[in-house]
Structures are given as C-alpha cells and as structure tokens.
Structure 1
Amino acid sequence: MGKFYFTMEDDKVQHLINRDPILEKLIRKIGTIHMKLSQDYYRSIVQQIIGQQLSLKAAATIIGLVEQIWSDFNPELIGDIEDEVIRGAGVSKPKIKYIRDLTDKHLTKEVDLSAIHSHEDAEVLKQLTSVKGIGKWTAEMFLIFSLARLDVLSYGDVSIQNAIRWLYQIEKEEPLELDEFKEKWAPYNSVASLYLWEAINRGLTKNPPNL
C-alpha cells in the first residue's frame, strides 16, 4: 500500500512554507504527515459511498457489517447478494443503487478503475461523477487518497473551509476566496489540505490559532 509521507525537509512542504508564512506556522506545529493511501480503488469508492453523510464511527460500523456479508468487497460477488441483505447491514436503498451502478460500470469498463490512475485529474473527475451517487467531493477525495494527486483543493469540503477560516481568522460573514488559496498553494494544494485536515483531527481548531 502506498502512502503520503511529508516531512519538514520535503521540497513540496518547503514550497508551501516559502509561499505562505501563516500556513508555515501550522506546518511547523504539526510536523510530519504520514498517511496510507487506499489503492484498492473499487473498494475505496464503495466505502466512500457507504460513508456519505455519516460520522466516521458510524461509517466504520456499517462497513464492518457489510464486510461480513460481502467477501472482500469483490465486485464479482455483489450480484449474488440481495438488496435486503445489504440493507440489513445498514446501507440505505439509494446507496445500494449507487454501489450497483458503480459495479456495473466497473465490470463493463465504462469506468475502468484498472486504468484510471493513468488519466489526468479532470478526466478522473468526469469518469467518477458519471456514476450515480458520486459527486465532485467524493471524486476529489479519490484523487487525493487513492491516486495521490498533489494539487487538489476541494472547494466543497466543509472541513477545509472551516480550517481555513480558523487559521486565517476569517469570520463566517466574510466571503472565502478559495481561488486565492488555490493559486498560492499550487501545485501542492493536496499537501496543504492534509495539514488543514490534521489541524482538525488534532483538535487545534477548537482554540484560536496561537501557533
């Protein structure tokens, strides 16, 4: 399994430090980023669909129950599992439809997950959002956490929005000019995003950013 591993000495991190002195303070506070990538692409997307609009804890519980009835999330096997059985594991009816649509497109190679890593970001987004229930945010998370694309800033990610407002002390009433941040952090918006998410994970955003 691949991983994201960024230290203070990494060229990408140094680029961000040199471009953004405010972000630099957060980077120095957090230090090294070490995160595994989800490189079983089909399984990763299925789990993202299951987890939509759920807490991490609830999603993990349901994913565990689904694993008990669907061996290794093997796409070849889901046709043998009745909707009612999947529903009994806690997956909603719409999400079951989304998973089946993904599976059909994957098996027919309409969305060829075996080759998707070879496409540019825009094409990956186009292919994935052709699947029912997969919106831009889910596709962007796939770009980052499965394909390790380095320059993705998800405008629709509420956690990213909140972390930016916290770090740069932007009030809720003020507009959030994400284009400015995207330009400043390019071509490593994904790396900047990882530090922003980590600030939330560590509970730093519960207090003023006295970094």
Structure 2
Amino acid sequence: MPGLNRRSYADAVEVLAAGDKDLARIVERFGAPSLVSRPSGFATLVSIIFEQQVSLASAKATFDKVALLLPEFTEHRYLELSDETLRTAGVSRQKIRYTRLVAEAILEGALPIRSLARKSDAQVRELLTAITGLGNWTADVYLMIALRRPDLWPIGDLALVKAVVSVKRLGDKPDAHTLEQLGERYRPYRSVATSIFWRHYLHS
C-alpha cells in the first residue's frame, strides 16, 4: 500500500487549503506542516504506546531512557528487560504489559509487523487492535507516521478534537458521528488534514 512522500504530502496540503478556507488560514498563518515520519517497526510502536494519554515530551523522555538500556531496540531485547527496570525508566505497569504483549505477538507471528506496509489500513487496524492496550488511536497514529497512509482521521485524538472545535467554531465538544462527518470532506487526505489541525493546536 503506497504511503505519502514529501511531494505528494505537499500536493495534498495545497489541495486541502484550496478546498477549505479554515485550513488555508492555518497554513497561511503558521506555514504548511511537514511530513512526520518514523521508521516502521517495534520501536516506533512502543513509542506510540508510551504516548498514550501523556504529553509527547514525557513519552519521549521515557522512550529515550528505555532505548539507553538496549543494545538494539528489538522485541527480543525488550523482553529481556525486567519489569522493575522498565518501571525505573518511567514505564507504567499498564504500558509494560501492553508493550510486552506487542513484543510477544511479533515473535509468535500474530503481528507480522515487518509486512504491515503491504496490508490495507483495515487489515493493519485489525491486527493492531487485536492486542490488549492497542486501540484505534494507536492504530491510526502508527498508520499515519510509520506507514505514512494518507487517509486517517483519528477522532480519538484530543489535540485533533480541540483544534477542530476551535477552527470550526463548534462550541461544545462534538460527538463521534459529527467528527466523522466533518472528516469526510477531507478524503482522501484526512491524515494531511489532521496534520494541519495539529499545527493549529500546537501554535494556539
């Protein structure tokens, strides 16, 4: 399944800005967002799990501490770390469990993480969310930043919701159906629209 590259991403930003005056204002005011990309694989999935319900800075600090404990960030090496060692690095008990389950799923073949790029968004989501602790948000973010898929709309992301409410002047927090319907106008580049809304959130 093809992912975005810098050129197609920039083209998508132009298309979205031309079709939505609110997105155009964000791009004009703050500049076009850059394509955010991380290597696909276990380490990136762990970093996204660490980002669940905490700030990006806090998650990165924890990830960096764990990475220093490993000669290489692989599922084999990760499972060799004790729970106590991971807790000392700042990993919560829940996230220790979730990340261990991911490592085990990869090693057992239940999560073929190295071939996810060849699968559809729906197939990737099904494989990831089958693992305890990995919900739609985690799957969406992995699809967006590791596989660079163009059409994800992670309505479970608080930053996206806050930005949409502000930019679209929605007043109260919209329900899931309202958010889904709003996102339809940005197909087939909802991932890029999300990045533009995130840019508004980060600068507001």
Gaps of 5+ in 1: 204-211
Look up the SS of the partner of 2:38 in the other structure: coil
What CA deviation, in whole Å up to 9, does each residue of 1:98-127 have, x standing for no partner?
A: 111101111122110110011111111100
Q: Give deviations 1:51-108, integer Å, cap 9, x for gaps.
A: 2222222222211221222233221212322211112211112211111110111112
Aligned to 1:50: 50
Deviation per residue, 1:142-188 (Å, 9 max, x gap): 01111111111111111111101111111116657223322211100
1:103 corresponds to: 103
Alignment partners' CA distance in 2, 1:151 and 1:192: 9
Tell me by how many angstroms 1:17 deviates. Answer: 2.6
Q: When you count helix as a share of all residues, which structure comes out higher?
A: 2
Which residue pairs with 1:115 in the alignment?
115
- How many positions carry a matched residue from both structures? 201
Go from structure 1 to structure 2 and tell me whether the alpha carbon gap of 1:171 and 1:4 turns closer, same or farther (over 3 Å shift). Answer: farther
Question: Separation in 1 of the partners of 2:94 and 2:172?
Answer: 33
What stretches of structure 2 of length at least 5 have no aligned partner?
Answer: none
Q: Could you tell me which residue of structure 1 aligns to residue 192 of structure 2?
A: 191
Given the superposition, is the C-alpha separation of residues 164 and 105 from structure 1 closer, same or farther in structure 2, using an over 3 Å criterion?
A: same
Q: Please give the alpha-carbon distance, in whole angstroms, between the structure 2 residues aligned to 1:173 and 1:28.
A: 26
Structure 1 residues 3, 61: closer, same or farther in 2, change over 3 A?
farther
Counterparts of 1:73 and 1:93 in 2: how far apart (Å)? 20
Q: What is the identity, as a one-letter code, of the residue corresponding to 2:168?
A: Y
Secondary structure at 2:6 match in 1: strand
Quote the residue 2:202 is aligned against.
Answer: 201
SS at match of 2:35: strand
- Across the aligned residues of Structure 1 and Structure 2, the Cα RMSD in angstroms comes to 2.3
